[in-house]
Amino acid sequence: MSSKSPGVGSLCLNFTVTYGRPVPGKTDYVPSTAAFNTVSGIGTIAKVPASGRVTQGEVTGKTIEQILAHGSLVSLTTGPATPFSTQCARVSKLAKF
């Protein structure tokens, strides 16, 4: 995740998704939950480690799907930045917007 604003920097996130089972006759989507946490980063944003989770709700719409979800920020702290790992540095070079 990167910002074009000078000094903000970039974050490397760990993102995990767990899929549930659809309920026949009730749901036509696969329910899921996701969790994330910051792994490392560069710039000012790297000094704000965070973690959170999201639970997918209903999916509606025929032409344009709308995904309803709710989530929470589990932790948000400040502290020293953790430099990019080798893997995060490689990915950050690919993700130029």
Mind listing the pLDDT tens digit for each residue in 47-90? 888 899 999 878 887 788 788 888 888 888 888 888 888 888 88
Least confident range from 4-8, 23-27, 39-43: namely 4-8
Q: What CA–CA distance (Å, rounded) separates 92 from 97? A: 11
Domain boundaries of the chain, sorted by first residue:
10-91
pLDDT attached to residue 2: 54
> Phi then psi for 75, rounded to 5 degrees?
-145, 145
R_g of the chain computed on alpha carbons: 17
Mean pLDDT for 9-35 is 86
pTM of whole model > 0.85? no
Q: What CA–CA distance (Å, rounded) separates 16 from 41? A: 18
Neighbours of 3 (CB within 10 A): 14
Find, among 39, 33, 29, 30, the residue nearest to 16 by Cα: 33
